[in-house]
Amino acid sequence: MGNMRREAGVLPRRAAASAVSSANTAASTYPAWHPAQKGEVRSPCPGLNSLANHDICPRSGKGYTIPILTDCLKRGLNVGGDFALVVGTAGIGSNPSPLTSGLYFDLDMLDRHDFLIEHDGSLSRADTITGDNHSFNQTIWDTVLAYYSGMTDATIPVASKARFNRIQTEAARDPNFSYSPVQFILSYGETALYLSTMGDPITGVAPLEYVRSLFEEEKLPYELGWQPPKTTTTLASLGAMALQLNLASGEQVPEGVILGEKSLRAALIGLNAATGEIENNVVYAVAKLTGALGSLTGVLKGLTGS
Ligand code: HEM
């Protein structure tokens, strides 16, 4: 994937307990890790890449269906089926022909820019204008780490400022910068995801070395003592954390958007998160088939606050 990996130089990393990532050793029991091999594909998402590198989600990176995703997000990170269903729907929407080829996606299909999930101003990837929107980019990630200088834990207030800085930086220098209300919501959701899964879905406190392992090595930090959080990450917890993150950054919310569970769900099933109108016909059609529309009436009510 052409990743540019080097020591960040911002924070020293603690040596891993074991240099060997193996399953079922006496000292540690965790699923064996190795990066993608020939013929395997990866995505712009450090979460999915890490799960695939441990073969918790399919190591090939191919043929991800809702049942496969639901199972591996739960086993790997204790992420709930409610989120797996809607994010999986958005993922399937990234398949160039989801309605004819079958309801699945391959990880490299998620590179598709501006379709729904992939966006500019990422925490650890360069913008599409550079020609590579999916590989880990240490230079960019260092600008996020700089916010954590002197800290051992990632927290909501600091993660929030680091995220907003990435948006402002690319908005100022990328002439093609695009950042729709959907991507505004999903970008907050992504920060909430790393704080929740590497730390705690309620407090958002995550040891920084765990976060760095996820981003820099695309490896779940078992060797550093991490275990999947006991509390399940759900759409509701992610929505609540997205709201807290936004309050901490002070970033202006797009007109009509109320950050939270409902808008996160709406964005991922192809609806306009302010009005509830269909915005992405393909994703909405996929959502009908996967069952992700759920009780749409509740979602629509929540969007308009009525
Ligand atoms: C539940 C476990 C997951 C975790 C912990 C996770 C975490 C993250 C994080 C932290 C980012 C931001 C990366 C950055 O800004 O540099 C991200 C990006 C992304 N994720 Fe995930 N994710 C998860 C699941 C998923 C799933 C299931 C999908 C798709 C079906 C997905 C698709 C994406 C995509 C396309 C991006 C790129 C967005 C961008 O342009 O920055 N993620 N994810």
Distance 306 CA to ligand 1 centre (A): 31
What beta strand segments (E) does the chain contain? 153-154, 206-207
In contact, 234 and 159? CB cutoff 8 Å: no
On whether residue 206 sits in a domain, the answer given is: yes
Supply the residue whose CA is at minimum distance from atom 34 of ligand 1: 45
Question: What pLDDT, on a 0 to 100 scale, did the predictor assign at position 115?
Answer: 86
What are the structure tokens assigned to 264, written together? Answer: 């996160």
Above 60 in pLDDT, residue 51? yes
On whether residue 232 sits in a domain, the answer given is: yes
Supply the residue whose CA is at minimum distance from atom 42 of ligand 1: 45
Q: Is 235 in the pocket of ligand 1 (CB under 6 A)?
A: no
213 vs 16, 134, 175, 208, CA distance in Å? Answer: 10, 17, 32, 9
In contact, 199 and 52? CB cutoff 8 Å: no
On whether residue 15 sits in a domain, the answer given is: no
Mean of the per-residue pLDDT values of the chain: 90
Question: What pLDDT, on a 0 to 100 scale, did the predictor assign at position 252?
Answer: 96
DSSP result, 289-300: HHTTT-SHHHHH
Q: Which of these ranges, 33-37, 101-105, 112-116, has the smallest mean pLDDT? A: 112-116
State the amino acid at position 271 in one-letter form.
L
On whether residue 147 sits in a domain, the answer given is: yes
Compute how many other C-beta atoms are within 10 angstroms of the C-beta atom of residue 187: 24
More confident residue, 9 or 40: 40
State the closest ligand 1 atom to the C-alpha of 117, by its place in the atom list counted from 1: 35
Q: How many residues does the chain have?
A: 306
Above 60 in pLDDT, residue 265? yes
Above 60 in pLDDT, residue 9? no
On whether residue 92 sits in a domain, the answer given is: yes
Residue 280's nearest CA partner among 293, 267, 299, 261 is 267
Question: What pLDDT, on a 0 to 100 scale, did the predictor assign at position 295?
Answer: 66
Euclidean distance between CA atoms 157 and 161, whole angstroms: 7
Mutate which of 190, 216, 232 for ligand 1 pocket (most atoms within 8 A of beta carbon)? 190
- Residue 4, φ and ψ in degrees, nearest 5: -105, 90
Q: Which of these ranges, 25-34, 57-66, 265-274, 277-286, has the smallest mean pLDDT? A: 25-34
Above 90 in pLDDT, residue 56? yes
Distance 47 CA to ligand 1 centre (A): 6
Euclidean distance between CA atoms 168 and 100, whole angstroms: 39
Could you tell me the CATH number of the domain that includes residue 246?
A: 1.10.489.10
Range(s) of the domain holding residue 221: 46-304
Question: What pLDDT, on a 0 to 100 scale, did the predictor assign at position 19?
Answer: 33
Q: Is 77 in the pocket of ligand 1 (CB under 6 A)?
A: yes
Q: Whole-prediction pTM value? A: 0.91
In contact, 140 and 122? CB cutoff 8 Å: yes
State the amino acid at position 98 in one-letter form.
P
Euclidean distance between CA atoms 36 and 24, whole angstroms: 21
Question: What pLDDT, on a 0 to 100 scale, did the predictor assign at position 192?
Answer: 98
In contact, 54 and 76? CB cutoff 8 Å: yes
Residue 103's nearest CA partner among 115, 113, 91, 114 is 91
Distance 27 CA to ligand 1 centre (A): 31
**Bridge partners of residue 210, in order along the sequence:** none
Residue 245's nearest CA partner among 205, 192, 199, 185 is 192
In contact, 81 and 74? CB cutoff 8 Å: yes
Q: Is 74 in the pocket of ligand 1 (CB under 6 A)?
A: no
What is the tens place of the pLDDT at every residue in 179-211? 999 999 999 999 999 999 999 999 999 999 999
In contact, 35 and 53? CB cutoff 8 Å: yes
State the closest ligand 1 atom to the C-alpha of 124, by its place in the atom list counted from 1: 16
The number of CA neighbours under 13 Å toward the Cβ of 67 is 0
Residue 286's nearest CA partner among 58, 117, 66 is 66
Euclidean distance between CA atoms 125 and 129, whole angstroms: 11
Q: How many domains in the chain? A: 1
Q: How far is CA 198 from the centre of its chain?
A: 12
On whether residue 281 sits in a domain, the answer given is: yes
On whether residue 269 sits in a domain, the answer given is: yes
| pLDDT-derived band at 107, boundaries 50, 70, 90 | very high
Supply the residue whose CA is at minimum distance from atom 7 of ligand 1: 47
Q: Is 156 in the pocket of ligand 1 (CB under 6 A)?
A: no
Supply the residue whose CA is at minimum distance from atom 22 of ligand 1: 47
Distance 26 CA to ligand 1 centre (A): 33
| Three-class SS state of 188 | helix
